C-alpha cells in the first residue's frame, strides 16, 4: 500500500491543561549525549532551521513528521491537533502512513488513554500497540505494520494543542536522546501552530482596521466587526449590542451567524444579565464556558436552542465611555485562550473609536442638513 506524505490542516483550539510538559531533561545536556555532539547539534540546528523557515503551517508540520521518521529511524509519524471541543484529535500532518490508516476513524480522547496521558503533559511509550489496551485502534495498527509507539504533547505555555506520534515497525525502546529529539520537534510544532494562528488573527485585524477606517457609515462598521469577530476566532457567531441612552439596556445593532429567532428574543436588561453587567461595570472581558448552564447568561434556554455554548464578551470603550459589548459565540463548551481574548479586545477597541466617530459625523451631517434647510427656507 502506498504511503501518504500529505498533510491536512485544521486549526482547532482546546482546553487548557497543566502538567510536566515535554521539557528537555538536564541530563540530556551532558557532553556524552549525541543531541549536543558536533554532528548531532549541527543536524538538529538544520532541522529546527527548516521548521522555522517554512512559510506555511502545513509545510512546517510536514518537516516535523518527516524529521521524526528520519532522525529516529521510524516507520511513520503523525501530528494530531485538538478540535475546538477538545474531545477529538484531528490529523494535521503525517509521513509514512497509508491513506487507509489515516481515514480509519476519529481519535476520541475519551477512548484513547494513550492520548489522555500525552495531553496531560507526559511522554507515553507503548511497547506493542497491537496488544496494548490503551490504544484505540490496535487492529488497524497491526494491519498498518505498527508495533511500538511513542507519543509526546504539543504544548505552548501550558496550553496543550495536540500530540506528536512516532511509529516503529518493530518492538523497540526509545532512548533518552530520541525522546528529547521528539520533545524538541513537538516544541517547534507548537510554536509554529501558535505563530500561524497569531499571524492569521493579526492579518485579519489589520484588514478590518483598514476597512473600518475607510467608512463613516455606522451600519457597515458594525457588520464588519461582527463578521470579523466570528471569522477571526473561527467561532459560530458574533453580535454587537449598544447601550441605550439610559445605560440600562443592550440592543442588538449587528449580528453574524445567529438566527432571526434568537435575535428577536428581546433586549438584554443589565439588571438581569450578570455577564454584561460584569463586562460593563469592570470594563474587562468575561468568558463563559457553557452558556446553557451558567447563571450569568440571561437567555440560557434560547442559547441551548441556538446551539450556543462558550461565550466571550468584551466591552466597547471610546473616550472613557462604555458604548456596549461585542460577543463571540462558539458551538462547543470550552475556554477561550488569552490570544483569542486579546484579538476580540483589540477589535472592540478599533470598533469603539470608529462607532464614536461615525456618530459624531452623523451629528455634524444632520446639523449641516438642517442648516441647509433653514437657509433654503429663508430664500423661498
Q: Are 87 and 110 in contact (CB under 8 A)?
A: yes
Instruction: Give alpha helix (H) positions in 73-175.
Output: 99-102, 113-119, 138-144
Asked if residue 224 and residue 279 are part of one domain, the reply reads: yes
Residues 6+ apart with CB under 8 A from 145: 75, 169
| 3-state DSSP percent of the chain in helix, strand and coil, to 5 | 45, 20, 35
- The domain total for the chain is 2
Residue 206 lies in a domain: no
Tell me the β-bridge partners of 199: none
Asked if residue 265 and residue 193 are part of one domain, the reply reads: no
Q: Are 109 and 89 in contact (CB under 8 A)?
A: yes
Residue 205 lies in a domain: no
* Residue with more model confidence, 377 or 188: 188
Residue 210 lies in a domain: no
CA nearest to 331, candidates 9, 85, 108:
85
Domain range for 254: 215-378
Query: DSSP 3-state assignment of 359?
Result: helix
CA separation for the pair 158, 224 (Å, rounded): 33
Question: pTM for the complete prediction?
Answer: 0.65
Asked if residue 109 and residue 9 are part of one domain, the reply reads: yes
Residue 202 lies in a domain: no
Asked if residue 133 and residue 253 are part of one domain, the reply reads: no
Q: Directed axis angle between helix 176-213 and helix 338-378, to 10°?
A: 0
Of 171, 197, 223, which residue sits at a domain end?
Answer: 197
Asked if residue 191 and residue 227 are part of one domain, the reply reads: no
Asked if residue 283 and residue 179 are part of one domain, the reply reads: no
Which pLDDT score, from 0 to 100, does residue 375 have? Answer: 67
Q: Are 95 and 66 in contact (CB under 8 A)?
A: yes
- Phi, psi dihedral angles at 240 (to 5 degrees): -130, 125
Of 136, 171, 197, which residue sits at a domain end?
Answer: 197
Whose cell is 525502546? That residue is: 173
Q: Are 4 and 151 in contact (CB under 8 A)?
A: no
Asked if residue 342 and residue 243 are part of one domain, the reply reads: yes
Which pLDDT score, from 0 to 100, does residue 43 have? Answer: 66
Three-state SS for 231-276 is HHHCCCEEEEEEECCCCCEEEEEEEECCCHHHHCCCCEECCCCHHH
Report pLDDT digits (tens) over 158-183.
Answer: 788 999 999 999 999 999 999 999 99
Residue 207 lies in a domain: no
CA nearest to 87, candidates 341, 352, 332, 342:
332
Asked if residue 225 and residue 112 are part of one domain, the reply reads: no
Distances (CA, A) of 113 to 116, 154, 269: 5, 16, 46
* Residue with more model confidence, 267 or 253: 253
* Residue with more model confidence, 245 or 292: 292
User: In the chain, at which residue ranges do the beta strands (DSSP E only) sit?
Assistant: 3-4, 76-82, 88-95, 97-98, 107-108, 124-126, 149-156, 159-167, 237-243, 249-256, 268-269, 286-288, 311-318, 321-329
Tell me the β-bridge partners of 150: 125, 166
Residue 332 lies in a domain: yes
- Residue 196 — pLDDT band, cuts 50, 70, 90? confident
Asked if residue 181 and residue 54 are part of one domain, the reply reads: yes
CA separation for the pair 206, 201 (Å, rounded): 8
Asked if residue 248 and residue 161 are part of one domain, the reply reads: no
CA separation for the pair 35, 343 (Å, rounded): 38
Of 142, 168, 197, which residue sits at a domain end?
Answer: 197
Report pLDDT digits (tens) over 214-236.
Answer: 888 889 999 999 999 999 998 99
Which pLDDT score, from 0 to 100, does residue 214 have? Answer: 87
Query: DSSP 3-state assignment of 129?
Result: coil
Asked if residue 74 and residue 18 are part of one domain, the reply reads: yes
* Residue with more model confidence, 365 or 78: 78
Domain of 105: which CATH number?
A: 3.30.450.40
Asked if residue 189 and residue 286 are part of one domain, the reply reads: no
Distances (CA, A) of 67 to 16, 24, 116, 192: 28, 18, 25, 15
Residue 299 lies in a domain: yes
Tell me the β-bridge partners of 243: 250
Which pLDDT score, from 0 to 100, does residue 360 have? Answer: 79
Q: What is the mean pLDDT of the chain?
A: 84
Residue 204 lies in a domain: no
Whose cell is 509545510? That residue is: 59
Which pLDDT score, from 0 to 100, does residue 147 have? Answer: 97
In this structure, the number of other CB atoms found within 10 A of the CB of residue 17 comes to: 16
- 342-347 mean pLDDT: 94
Amino acid at each position: 500500500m502506498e504511503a501518504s506524505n500529505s498533510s491536512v490542516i485544521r486549526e482547532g483550539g482546546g482546553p487548557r491543561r497543566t502538567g510536566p510538559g515535554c521539557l528537555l531533561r538536564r541530563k540530556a545536556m551532558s557532553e556524552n549525549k549525541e543531541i549536543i555532539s558536533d554532528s548531532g547539534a549541527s543536524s538538529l540546528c538544520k532541522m529546527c532551521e527548516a521548521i522555522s523557515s517554512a512559510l506555511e503551517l502545513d509545510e512546517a508540520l510536514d518537516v516535523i513528521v518527516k524529521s521524526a521518521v528520519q532522525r529516529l529511524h521510524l516507520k511513520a509519524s503523525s501530528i494530531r491537533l485538538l478540535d475546538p471541543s477538545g474531545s477529538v484529535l484531528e490529523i494535521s500532518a503525517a509521513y509514512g502512513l497509508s491513506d487507509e490508516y489515516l481515514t480509519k476513524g476519529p481519535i476520541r480522547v475519551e477512548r484513547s488513554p494513550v492520548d489522555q496521558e500525552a495531553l496531560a503533559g507526559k511522554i507515553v511509550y507503548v511497547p506493542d500497540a497491537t496488544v496494548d489496551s490503551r490504544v484505540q485502534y490496535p487492529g488497524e495498527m497491526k494491519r498498518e505494520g505498527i508495533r511500538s509507539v511513542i507519543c509526546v504533547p504539543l504544548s505552548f505555555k501550558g496550553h496543550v494543542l495536540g500530540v506528536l506520534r512516532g511509529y516503529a515497525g518493530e518492538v523497540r525502546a526509545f532512548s533518552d536522546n530520541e525522546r528529547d529529539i521528539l520533545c524538541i520537534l513537538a516544541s517547534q510544532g507548537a510554536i509554529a501552530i501558535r505563530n500561524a494562528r497569531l499571524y492569521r488573527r493579526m492579518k485579519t485585524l489589520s484588514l478590518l482596521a483598514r476597512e473600518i477606517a475607510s467608512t463613516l457609515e455606522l451600519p457597515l462598521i458594525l457588520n464588519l466587526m461582527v463578521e470579523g469577530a466570528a471569522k477571526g476566532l473561527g467561532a459560530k457567531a458574533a453580535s454587537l449590542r449598544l447601550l441605550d441612552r439610559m445605560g440600562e439596556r443592550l440592543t442588538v445593532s449587528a449580528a453574524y451567524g445567529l438566527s432571526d429567532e434568537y435575535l428577536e428574543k428581546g433586549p438584554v436588561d443589565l439588571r438581569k444579565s450578570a455577564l454584561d453587567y460584569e463586562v460593563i461595570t469592570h470594563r474587562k472581558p468575561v468568558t463563559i464556558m457553557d452558556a446553557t448552564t451558567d447563571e450569568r447568561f440571561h437567555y440560557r434556554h434560547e442559547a441551548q436552542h441556538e446551539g450556543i455554548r462558550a461565550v466571550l464578551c468584551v466591552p466597547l470603550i471610546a473616550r472613557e465611555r462604555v458604548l456596549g459589548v461585542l460577543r463571540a459565540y462558539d458551538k462547543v463548551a470550552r475556554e477561550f485562550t488569552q490570544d483569542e481574548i486579546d484579538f476580540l479586545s483589540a477589535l472592540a477597541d478599533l470598533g469603539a473609536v470608529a462607532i464614536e466617530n461615525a456618530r459624531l459625523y452623523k451629528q455634524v451631517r444632520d446639523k449641516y442638513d438642517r442648516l441647509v434647510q433653514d437657509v433654503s427656507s429663508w430664500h423661498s
